Amino acid sequence: MTQTSQRPLRVLAAMSGGVDSAVAAARAAEAGHDVTGVHLALSANPQSFRTGARGCCTIEDSRDARRAADVIGIPFYVWDLAERFREDVVDDFVAEYEAGRTPNPCLRCNEKIKFAALLDKALALGFDAVCTGHYATVVLNEDGTREMHRASDMAKDQSYVLGVLDEKQLAHAMFPLGDTLTTKDEIRAEAERRGLAVAKKPDSHDICFIADGDTQGFLAGRLGGPAEGDILDESGSKVGTHEGVFGFTIGQRKGLRIGHPAPDGKPRYVLDISPVNNTVTVGPVEALDVTALTAIKPRWCGTAPSGPGTYTAQLRAHGGETEVTAELVDGTLTVTFAEPVRGVAPGQAVVLYDGTRVVGSATIATTVRKERAVASG
């Protein structure tokens, strides 16, 4: 198994303006590839300069990416994919919340933008691959097939948000940071050594298209003003009032603003969100225990598994691994947990692994609680 092909490739490096993608582009260029940098303009109305860099959509981020490309010595362009991003990521994000689910827009962006819209355009223009600063490893087998594995450093691994990529997309993906066994500080030191000014730039986090981090406010703006509704306990009794179901996440504990404590004095968690009834159901932590789930829209990296199999599963970004058995029946994936797990939110992805290898990914549709089945929405 070899890491990457030795043949020099024409590589399009997606440069967000952050330190990871800058170092990735620099490594690709250093490896002898013919690299061109592209910053994706994903917002139709880019925020101007902000000091606390939160995402990748500001004019300052675009400038940072350009400066990194200058230093690496590669051509650089800004491509406007705002329309595609709005349709495929932002609108999907809003629709998912509207349906009471908890979407992962980064994953959707990788699936629909970086390794679809951008990759398609890159290939058409004569490039061989798209390079990003993700932490994941692509392995080329001797038979020519490709596998995606977790990054060498499990703490930085981002294979979860790349789990939606199929083998065809993987064949044109390059992740120069994937085999990095160094800390983020060392990546920053490498950036510094390479003269990249983004070395000291804070990490991006939160959702890039929600500039102020106020997801609830963003959703209220899109879905009409917040509609006040009831917070119920498991028996259906009203225990509080919410200002709109959008933005709640299964397993959420903070921000419920329930005036009085539960009879047992224990903290309460969001168990269920019902946009149709405009209610949020809360209950004790035990009620979050999920024994199984079903997931739809599976995407396989390689051939789809036949029959039930034993895997490890990851259920959210930065989440841990859990032992499961999984089976695909009529396009629906059923995942059964060896031990109950908590905080499983419909809309999130379940990514299956065989050891470090990504097997595939699907969108969680329903969860089976210890006592009862809860359908999403």
Partner 1 sequence: MAYLDHAATTPMLPEAIAAMTAQLAVTGNASSLHAAGRRARRTVEESRETLADALGARPSEVVLTSGGTEADNLAVKGLYWARRDADPRRTRVLASPVEHHAVLDAVDWLAEHEGATVDYLPVDSYGRVHPDALREALVRNPDDVALVTVMWANNEIGTIMPIRELAEVASEFGVPMHSDAVQAFGQLEVDFARSGLAAMTVSAHKIGGPFGIGALLLGRDQSPVPVLHGGGQERHVRSGTLDVPAVAAFAVAGRHAADGRENFARSIGALRDELAGAVLKAVPDALLGGDPAPGGRLPANAHFTFPGCEGDSLLLLLDAQGIECSTGSACTAGIAQPSHVLLATGTDPALARGTLRFSLGHTSTGQDVEELARAIGPAVERARTAGLS
By C-beta, is 45 or 235 nearer to partner 1?
A: 45
Site for partner 1 in 44-73 (CB under 8 A): 44, 46, 59, 62
Q: Does 100 belong to an annotated binding site?
A: no
The verdict on 75 binding partner 1 (CB under 8 A) reads yes
Contact in structure between 46 and 58 (CB atoms under 8 Å): yes
- According to CB under 8 A, which one of 78, 94, 285, 317 is a site residue for partner 1? 78
The verdict on 26 binding partner 1 (CB under 8 A) reads no
Collapsing DSSP to helix, strand or coil, 242 comes out as: strand
Q: Does 229 belong to an annotated binding site?
A: no
Collapsing DSSP to helix, strand or coil, 104 comes out as: coil
By C-beta, is 75 or 308 nearer to partner 1?
A: 75
By C-beta, is 12 or 148 nearer to partner 1?
A: 12
User: What is the C-alpha to C-alpha distance for residues 320 and 157, in angstroms, rounded to an integer?
Assistant: 11
Residue 17: CB minimum distance to partner 1, A: 11
**Out of 56, 57, 208, 301, which one is annotated catalytic?**
208
The verdict on 82 binding partner 1 (CB under 8 A) reads yes
Q: Compute, in degrees rounded to 10, the torsion defined by CA atoms 304, 310, 312, 314.
A: 50
Say how many residues make up the chain: 377
By C-beta, is 197 or 317 nearer to partner 1?
A: 197
Q: Does 19 belong to an annotated binding site?
A: yes
Q: Compute, in degrees rounded to 10, the torsion defined by CA atoms 32, 36, 41, 42.
A: -50
Give the list of residues 6+ apart from residue 349 with CB closer than 8 angstroms, or none: 104, 107, 160, 163, 164, 295, 315, 361, 362, 363, 364
- According to CB under 8 A, which one of 3, 5, 32, 77 is a site residue for partner 1? 77
User: What is the C-alpha to C-alpha distance for residues 228 and 230, in angstroms, rounded to an integer?
Assistant: 7
Q: Does 14 belong to an annotated binding site?
A: yes
Contact in structure between 61 and 50 (CB atoms under 8 Å): no
Q: Does 144 belong to an annotated binding site?
A: no
H or E element, residue 68 = helix 59-72
Q: Does 148 belong to an annotated binding site?
A: no
By C-beta, is 73 or 225 nearer to partner 1?
A: 73
Residue linked to tokens 């986090």: 205
Only one of the segments 78-86, 131-139, 151-159, 228-236 lies at the binding site for partner 1 (rule: CB under 8 A); that segment is 78-86
Only one of the segments 77-85, 137-145, 150-158, 172-180 lies at the binding site for partner 1 (rule: CB under 8 A); that segment is 77-85
CA quadruple 50, 56, 62, 66: dihedral sign: positive
By C-beta, is 82 or 290 nearer to partner 1?
A: 82
CA atoms within 13 A on the CB side of 127: 24
Q: Does 154 belong to an annotated binding site?
A: no
In this structure, which amino acid lies at residue 125?
L
| 301 annotated active-site | no
Contact in structure between 39 and 208 (CB atoms under 8 Å): no
Fill in the per-residue mask, 28 to 47: x = in contact with partner 1 (CB under 8 A), - = not in contact. Answer: --------x--x-x--x-x-
H or E element, residue 364 = strand 357-369
By C-beta, is 92 or 354 nearer to partner 1?
A: 92
Do strands 10-14 and 279-283 pair parallel, antiparallel, or not at all (unpaired)?
Answer: unpaired
**Out of 56, 57, 109, 301, which one is annotated catalytic?**
109
Q: Indicate the DSSP class of residue 371.
A: S
| 131 annotated active-site | no
Q: Indicate the DSSP class of residue 198.
A: G
Q: Does 213 belong to an annotated binding site?
A: no
Only one of the segments 75-83, 164-172, 208-216, 360-368 lies at the binding site for partner 1 (rule: CB under 8 A); that segment is 75-83
Site for partner 1 in 111-170 (CB under 8 A): 117, 120-121, 124-126
In this structure, which amino acid lies at residue 122?
A
Structure tokens at 1: 């198994």
Only one of the segments 80-88, 202-210, 321-329, 346-354 lies at the binding site for partner 1 (rule: CB under 8 A); that segment is 80-88
Residues within the annotated binding site for ATP? 14-21, 40, 133
Residues that bind partner 1 (CB under 8 A): 36, 39, 41, 44, 46, 59, 62, 75, 77-82, 84, 117, 120-121, 124-126
Residues of the binding site: 14-21, 40, 133
Q: Which residues are catalytic?
A: 109, 208
